[in-house]
Amino acid sequence: MGGRLKVETKNRRFWDKAHPEPMSGCWLWMGAFFNHGYGKVFRKPNFLLAHRVAWELIHGAIPENLLVLHKCDVPSCINPRHLFLGTALDNSQDCYRKDRQANNAGEYNPRAKLTRQDVAQARESFHVGKQRVCDLARKYGVSWTTMNYAIVGKTWR
């Protein structure tokens, strides 16, 4: 009997961190988070994704090689009605169907060192013969290859 009470207390503490959002029906996780926006739960010796824990508390163990996916596309949602099981392929197809692919091209890429304006100016300088690729690369603080690809259009189309 003591073990059951302990499990119920843990479950209650977990669900107490869910904040219902009436407009969407999401139950937003109010505990700790991973950097990518998914809820984080500590279970010795690891941190687990909160939505996976929510699934397990309601439905039981998650079969090997399956993911817990969101119908609502809200990473912090732990509402079991918004969750479903799927493969990595299912997740990719769901992402594509919902047009959620990240657009990390050009200056939207968080690691980009060049802007659209930089590339336009570099192309102009190169094509009129004012500067060489190595000089432009040095000027903009990128490698020769990065600058060359930007100028010839392999990147920054």
- Give per-residue pLDDT as tens, 122-135: 999 998 888 899 99
Residues of the chain with CATH 3.90.75: 2-97
Architecture of domain 2-97 in this structure: Alpha-Beta Complex (3.90)
pLDDT by residue (tens digit) across 135-146?
999 999 999 999
Residue 60: what residue type? G
- In order of 71, 73, 77, 85, the CA distances from 24 in angstroms are 11, 11, 10, 20
CA distances from 65 to 45, 58, 108, 155 (A): 21, 19, 32, 35
Calculate the average pLDDT of the chain. 88
Question: What would you report as the CA-atom Rg of the chain, rounded to the nearest whole angstrom?
Answer: 24
Residues of the chain by 3-state class (helix, strand, coil), percent to 5: 45, 15, 40
For the chain, which ranges sit under pLDDT 70?
Answer: 1-10, 101-104, 110
**Dist. CA 115–CA 106, nearest whole Å:** 7
